[in-house]
Amino acid sequence: MVEPFAAVDIIKAKRDRGVLSDAQIHWVVDAYTRGVVADEQMAALAMAILLNGMNEREIVRWTTAMIETGERMDFSGLPRPTVDKHSTGGVGDKITLPLVPLVAACGAAVPQLSGRGLGHTGGTLDKMESIRGWRAQLSNDEMLAVLRDVGGVIGAAGDGLAPADRKLYALRDVTGTVEAIPLIASSIMSKKIAEGAGGLVLDVKTGSGAFMSDPAMARELAETMVRLGTDAGVRTRALITAMDVPLGLAVGNALEVAESIEVLAGGGPSDVVELTLVLAREMLDLAGLGDVDPADALADGRAMDAWNAMVRAQGGDPEAPLPGAREFSVIHAEDDGVVTRMDALAVGVAAWRLGAGRARKEDAVAFGAGITLQAKPGDRVHKGDALMTLYTDEAPRFALAHEALEGAVDIGPEGSTIDRLPLIIDRLT
């Protein structure tokens, strides 16, 4: 087969701040997936895109080309409207867990294809796999059956969904090009568009614990993704939300499942409840169910019923005890006063070092490892009070976690300014 383009010419064009044609983009994405374009060539192109950007047409075409390397899912036969949510991730971000059954309990179908954690940010599938028997890998037919019977599913994306993205993401991860907004946006949206839901709500996080810590870059990413979804015929909107402080009071796989169950039972930390309800209302509105109040489904037990049914449908036992850690260590307040700051990144790195995360994709996670918070910004504490409790199966990990937490918490006198972002920063449609 004679290839219509040479990879080096496309690299040079973007290196020199040129604009790629639709045909060039389609070819280079397809050829990379086929193995015709080498890793080192795609790495060079990704770096050129990181440095010089892409215009809106290029990003749309790149996203479309990624989708075209694989299959599209079809949920049109379901008796419910479909809507999905994607979060760019953070520390203690367990919102997917209570959100999916809550929205399902309100009448929508939620095909939530999620990923695993890497580094300081947790992965939804890792959290769910702390439930005995639960499995992430479902065939398309199994996923449809769960959606039809329960209304919500949390699972791993199949190999056929945007395979170009899986290959390109692994390359970006080791070549310092993860932060390229055109490539982030196309990576997320190629999978979400191929997934086939009719509506999509994006939770784009910013702050120290977020993937996109700069608020201006978070906004640019959100705007880009909303345009991509809308252009593809998916009703899309985005919230920019805070990730300067961990979400909730639990960071770590089984710990976050337990906190999610508290929310479904009508309790849980106020910030987790608030964000879950805000996102649920956005999703239900996109699904044409805006007159349904998700708070009612939390209060009357329907959301918990949907959770139990969803877990069972994927082989899990919702009654089984969650894994715990063998060792724990408490960090105490060194002064009287008010907690004014808590660095989400430091808490996330500490939880990772305790075993809750992985450094490489093939690493195993310790389901019981993590951190619970006994105080957050705005809380009054006395010297000697517990600030947080660390959990791990391997006691030597405590020293590494304590190192990560050096300077992570500030305590000021009564009346001090609280240094944190509002939970909901902006909304884009």
Residue of 86, 116, 167, 353 marked active site: 86
Prediction pTM value? 0.95
Residue pointed to by tokens 């940010």 = 121
Higher pLDDT, residue 41 or 419: 41
Report pLDDT for 117. 77
Q: Compute the average pLDDT of residues 420-428.
A: 96
- Residue 271 annotated among the catalytic residues of the structure: no
Pair (135, 176) in one structural domain: yes
- Count other Cβ atoms within 10 Å, centred on residue 145: 14
Structural contact between residues 62 and 182, judged by C-beta atoms closer than 8 angstroms? yes
| Model pLDDT, residue 389 | 98
416 included as an active-site residue: no
Catalytic hit among 93, 165, 203, 343: 165
The CATH number given to whatever domain includes residue 401 is: 3.90.1170.30
Identify whether 265 is part of a domain: yes
* Whether residues 191 and 139 fall in one domain: yes
Q: What is the CA radius of gyration of the chain?
A: 22
| Tokens 């039972």 belong to residue | 265
Return the pLDDT at 170: 84
Q: Quick one: pLDDT band at residue 118, thresholds 50, 70, 90? A: low
Which of 136-140, 176-180, 394-398 is most confident?
394-398
pLDDT band at 287 (very low <50, low <70, confident <90, very high): very high
Residue 165 annotated to the active site: yes
H helices present in 79-175, as ranges: 96-105, 124-128, 140-149, 163-173
Q: Is 130 a catalytic residue?
A: no
Lowest mean pLDDT among 20-24, 138-142, 239-243: 138-142
- Quick: pLDDT tens for 307-348: 999 999 999 999 999 999 999 999 999 999 999 999 999 999
Answer yes or no: do 296 and 333 share one domain. no
If one counts the domains in the chain, the total is: 3
Q: Which domain holds residue 401?
A: 327-412
**Catalytic choice (14, 85, 191, 281):** 191
Catalytic-labelled residue, pool 116, 172, 281, 358: 172
Give catalytic status of residue 260 as yes or no: no
Answer positive or negative: Cα dihedral of 212, 217, 219, 224: negative
The active-site residue out of 114, 130, 186, 187 is 187
Mean of the per-residue pLDDT values for the chain?
95
Q: Residues 134, 215: one domain? A: yes
- 13 within some domain: yes
**Do 47 and 89 reside in the same domain of the chain?**
no
